[in-house]
């Protein structure tokens, strides 16, 4: 984690407002409800892959995964010992999507650090996993169509994928997880954004190994983390954080 903090000196760090760890020492726990003694903080890396069309790739985690099932996230995972951060991100991108980016046809910048827990809320149960996620923006010189043509998702980890454009990403990032007040999308969003949200460029994997077009309802993409445990499809809170940073990068 020290390497990530050195790399991201001056970069945003954040966590969800309902992150369980700050509250753990402030409330009594029932007898026997102790945190796992072997729990540590793991470093993970996630790749926000941007095409030359200025769209970014998200994958939907399978329902069978033990951590964060059925969530839309960028490709990513644990950093191996002595592995460079970029190398770890590109390895995870390849393992999950089958994409290998040609040398010299992309560049990258760090976006920010995110503190993640699973379960994500104390109301779901005591946290079993604790990660610091480094989001890397990897900007490809290839178009969405060129990248999509080479994608071969790993069905053990990925059940669907989609490409989000700037306007769609802005609508998703505008939803606030952990707030008690009604959500209000920014008034300056183009009027077609919500309509576009129902027609994202997305595909879903089939049991026979093929893929079919996936139409995502607006309500699915704008869901927030519920107070009680469930595995409904939604965009993860950390992904919304990363999308906000991506949009800020585009605006520079």
Q: Could you tell me the mean pLDDT of each successive run of 10 residues in the chain, 252 residues long? A: 48 82 69 57 96 96 92 96 96 97 96 94 91 97 96 95 91 74 49 44 84 82 88 94 96 84
Name the one residue in this structure whose structure tokens are 């991108």: 93
Query: If we measure between CA atoms, which residue out of 16, 35, 36 comes closest to residue 24?
Result: 35
Query: If we measure between CA atoms, which residue out of 173, 162, 171 comes closest to residue 57?
Result: 162
| pLDDT for the residue numbered 213 | 85
Q: Is 237 inside any structural domain?
A: yes
Q: Is 23 inside any structural domain?
A: no
Q: Is 9 inside any structural domain?
A: no
Question: Is the sign of the CA dihedral 104, 109, 113, 117 positive or negative?
Answer: negative
| pLDDT for the residue numbered 74 | 98
Q: Count CB-CB contacts under 10 A for residue 77.
A: 20
| pLDDT for the residue numbered 175 | 87
| pLDDT for the residue numbered 33 | 55
Q: Is 92 inside any structural domain?
A: yes
Q: Is 96 inside any structural domain?
A: yes
Residues 6+ positions from 89 with CB-CB distance below 8 Å: 45, 46, 47, 75, 76, 108, 134, 136, 138
The range of the structural domain enclosing residue 204 comes to: 40-251
CATH code for the domain in which residue 240 is found: 3.90.79.10
Give CA–CA dist 252/242, Å, rounded: 16
Name the one residue in this structure whose structure tokens are 């610091």: 132
Q: Is 75 inside any structural domain?
A: yes
Q: Is 136 inside any structural domain?
A: yes
Instruction: Say how many domains are in the chain.
Output: 1
| pLDDT for the residue numbered 139 | 98
- Global pTM value: 0.85
Q: Is 60 inside any structural domain?
A: yes
């Amino acid at each position: 984690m020290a390497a990530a903090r050195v790399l991201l000196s001056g970069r945003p760090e954040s966590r969800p407002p309902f992150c369980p760890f700050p509250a753990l020492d402030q409330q009594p726990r029932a007898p026997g409800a102790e945190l796992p003694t072997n729990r540590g903080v793991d470093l993970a890396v996630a790749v926000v892959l941007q095409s030359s069309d200025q769209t970014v790739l998200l994958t939907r985690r399978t329902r069978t995964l033990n951590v964060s099932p059925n969530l839309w996230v960028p490709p990513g995972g644990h950093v191996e010992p002595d592995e460079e951060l970029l190398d770890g991100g590109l390895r995870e991108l390849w393992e999950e999507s089958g994409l290998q980016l040609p040398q010299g046809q992309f560049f990258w910048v760090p976006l920010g650090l995110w503190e993640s827990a699973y379960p994500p809320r104390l109301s779901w149960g005591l946290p079993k996993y604790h990660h610091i996620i480094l989001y890397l923006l990897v900007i490809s010189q290839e178009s969405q169509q060129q990248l999509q043509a080479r994608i071969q998702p790993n069905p053990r980890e990925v059940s669907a994928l989609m490409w989000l454009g700037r306007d769609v990403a802005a609508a998703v990032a505008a939803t606030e997880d952990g707030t008690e007040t009604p959500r209000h999308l920014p008034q300056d969003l183009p009027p077609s954004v919500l309509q576009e949200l129902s027609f994202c460029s997305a595909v879903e994997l089939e049991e026979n190994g093929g893929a079919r077009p996936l139409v995502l309802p607006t309500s699915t993409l704008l869901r927030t983390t519920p107070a009680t445990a469930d595995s409904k499809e939604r965009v993860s809170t950390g992904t919304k954080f990363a999308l906000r940073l991506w949009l800020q990068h585009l605006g520079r």
